[in-house]
Amino acid sequence: MDSIKYYKFYLRAGFMSMEPQTGFVKAYVGGINYQHFKFDQVSVARRQVGSTFKPFIYTLAMQNGYSPCTKVPNIPVSFELPEGQEPRFYTPKFSQSKRDGEMITLKYGLAGSLNQISAWVLKQFSPEAAVQVANKMGVYSHIDPYPSICVGAAEVLLKEMVGGYCTFANKGIYTRPMFVTRIEDKEGNVLSSFSPLQKEAVSEETAFLMLDLMRGVVDFGTSVRLRYRYNIKADLAGKTGTTNNHSDGWFIGISPQLVSGAWVGGEERSIHFRTITLGQGAEMALPIWALYMQKVYADKSLPYTEDMRFEKPDYISVETDCDTYDRQQETFIEF
């Protein structure tokens, strides 16, 4: 009994990395030690995703004319629940920030992972619409369309999350993760070959606007330690995620050539950190991603470099420079 309890307290982890354009899976780690822990944390384990679900919600705004610079109220948001449910309203936990009560940009809201901002966005549309967006981007796990998805109360595979985020880096085209390109016999004859399954999930503009939003997460938000602690200078976007009681830590990071995701947590949700100091995605999962990318960029035999940039579409219908956006809004005011 003591030995079972001992192993239960081991933190588990899963990691997957793939090329967004080809779908080729370049790294896959299903657990911390296959000899002792054979359960696959990438393709079998469904865990609450926390704030890593928020980009799917923000995608709704970007594909409906919002800009990353659009300002919304940083106040609590409540959802009325169906008749007969008690309590009658659901109010997501308020994320404290230095700008409580102010009008803040969507980019600031996602960078700080503010629950009230993702709730505000979700309320402009619907939980059903957010689930549909996630489905189009390769998240096929069943998700109940409840308001609580604005804080990530959905259980999803890590493989699905990485595949979904690849859509942002691939100009709105979802590419299914691909593990095998061909099968040969012992003589080298090709018995079967495979090509990536692709479909348009969102527009190229929407995908780029989401990259712009998630750049803020890395440059001045919850993932900023990628810059100052790990000294990664590449053009990056991404999102951290943390679940209730600090049970799950997530980080999914996007570079122009690779999209990679890490999850860390206990086998049981009852195994968790006591406080958010260590029990958050930025401390639990992000370091795995950062150390992996450091080694990738250091290996000059690989085709992945830090100087690659996300490609901007020829035309964007909304302004992404927030100073320019503010001046435009002042110009449009009628007197």
Asked if the structure places residue 3 within a domain, the reply is: no
pTM of the model: 0.93
34-88 confidence digits (pLDDT tens): 888 888 999 999 999 999 999 999 999 999 999 999 999 999 999 998 887 788 8
Average pLDDT value for residue range 276-300? 95
pLDDT number for residue 334: 47
Average pLDDT value for residue range 295-315? 97
Crossing angle (nearest 10°) for helices 204-220 and 158-169? 110
Buried (b) or exposed (e) across 181-219, using 16+ Cβ within 10 A?
eeeeeeeeeeeeeeeeeeeebbebbbbbbbbbbbbbbbe
Average pLDDT value for residue range 203-210? 98
Asked if the structure places residue 4 within a domain, the reply is: no
Asked if the structure places residue 5 within a domain, the reply is: no
Q: Residue 277 — very low, low, confident or very high, per pLDDT cuts 50/70/90? A: confident
- Residues in the chain, overall count: 335
Whichever domain contains 119, its CATH number is 3.40.710.10
* Domains: count for the chain: 1
Q: Among 59-68, 208-217, 273-282, which stretch is predicted with the lowest mean pLDDT?
A: 273-282
Domain range for 216 is 11-331
Q: Among 83-87, 237-241, 281-285, 317-321, which stretch is predicted with the lowest mean pLDDT?
A: 83-87
Q: Residue 2 — very low, low, confident or very high, per pLDDT cuts 50/70/90? A: low
Mean residue pLDDT of the chain comes to: 93
Asked if the structure places residue 2 within a domain, the reply is: no
Helix (H) or strand (E) holding 163: helix 158-169
